[in-house]
């Protein structure tokens, strides 16, 4: 059969007795587990004790989730603050609505605290977890699929995404059979490819001292620039650009700055992105 569209799921949660389990939350949880697993394997390979990645994650994850939610609410204030709005919706994170860049800011703070307490160099942890963060994002984007949210502009491409016309996010001005760009799939695929790319670069150039994390910021943000400009969900606009477009631009700048500064700072001990990187002696 030739693909003519991607159907959206009819349910976004299951009920087990008194509990309602949202698929969005399961996707996020799966991503967190994968990220911790990858970080632990990489840290152990670098000589750290197994389990320290989990110790740091106990700080990184909750602070990161709080940061992600705050960033989302602040950049989508019109969805939460209007006459007659239910302000408790701000706290209903299981319904969707977390911002990756807010999560990175909060997660970095949590990682710094957790690394200090666990006795791990901060940059070692960020470099170890960076590929896992991409894998987590690849899994987490499927939560948007189950929630039928954050889709892109209308499209006639054969992989257009079906969205229920009853969905509050469905544009009223469009025919009910309209298909949309599956931005969740684009970003998930980009992230999966990124895991392979980052690990290959690490094998070739030994990305340490923040270089891996900086490379992650550059790679992810480049893809986010594309998907963010496709999306039609409401967003605050600054100087003609969506908030997360600016976030992606700043992500690229920050990633490049981290790679440059850390490379310069540690060049004498561990060159990064140099022709003789493979021949250098690790510290």
Predicted pLDDT at 2: 58
Predicted pLDDT at 254: 98
Q: For strands 241-242 and 237-238, give the pairing.
A: antiparallel
CA nearest neighbour of 269 among 200, 209, 203, 188:
209
The vertex-61 CA angle with 12 and 19, nearest 5°, equals 35
Phi, psi angles (nearest 5°) of residue 6: -110, 115
Q: Helix-strand-coil percent breakdown of the chain, rounded to 5?
A: 60, 5, 30
What does the pLDDT look like over 245-271, one tens digit per residue? 999 999 999 999 999 999 888 864 443
Helix (H) or strand (E) segment spanning residue 270 = none
**How far is C-alpha 173 from the chain's CA centre?**
31
Predicted pLDDT at 32: 97
Predicted pLDDT at 253: 98
Residue segments in the chain with a per-residue pLDDT below the cut of 70: 1-2, 96, 267-283
pTM of this structure: 0.89
């Amino acid at each position: 059969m030739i693909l003519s569209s991607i159907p959206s799921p009819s349910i976004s949660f299951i009920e087990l007795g008194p509990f309602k389990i949202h698929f969005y939350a399961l996707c996020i949880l799966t991503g967190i587990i994968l990220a911790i697993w990858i970080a632990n394997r990489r840290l152990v390979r670098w000589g750290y004790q197994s389990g320290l990645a989990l110790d740091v994650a106990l700080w990184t994850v909750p602070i990161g989730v709080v940061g992600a939610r705050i960033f989302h609410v602040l950049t989508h204030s019109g969805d939460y603050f209007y006459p007659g709005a239910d302000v408790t919706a701000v706290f209903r994170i299981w319904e969707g609505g977390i911002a990756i860049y807010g999560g990175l800011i909060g997660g970095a703070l949590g990682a710094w605290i957790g690394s200090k307490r666990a006795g791990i160099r901060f940059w070692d942890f960020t470099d170890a977890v960076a590929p896992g963060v991409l894998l987590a994002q690849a899994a987490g984007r499927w939560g948007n699929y189950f929630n039928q949210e954050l889709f892109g502009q209308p499209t006639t491409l054969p992989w257009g995404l079906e969205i229920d016309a009853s969905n509050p996010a469905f544009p009223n001005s469009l025919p009910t059979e309209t298909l949309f760009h599956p931005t969740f799939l684009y970003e998930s695929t980009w992230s999966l490819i990124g895991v392979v790319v980052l690990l290959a670069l690490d094998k070739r150039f030994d990305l340490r001292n923040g270089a891996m994390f900086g490379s992650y910021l550059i790679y992810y943000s480049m893809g986010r620039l594309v998907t963010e400009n496709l999306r039609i969900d409401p967003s605050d606009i600054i100087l003609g650009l969506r908030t997360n477009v600016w976030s992606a631009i700043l992500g690229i700048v920050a990633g490049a700055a981290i790679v440059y500064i850390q490379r310069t700072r540690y060049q004498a001990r561990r060159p990064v992105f140099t022709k003789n990187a493979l021949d250098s002696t690790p510290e």
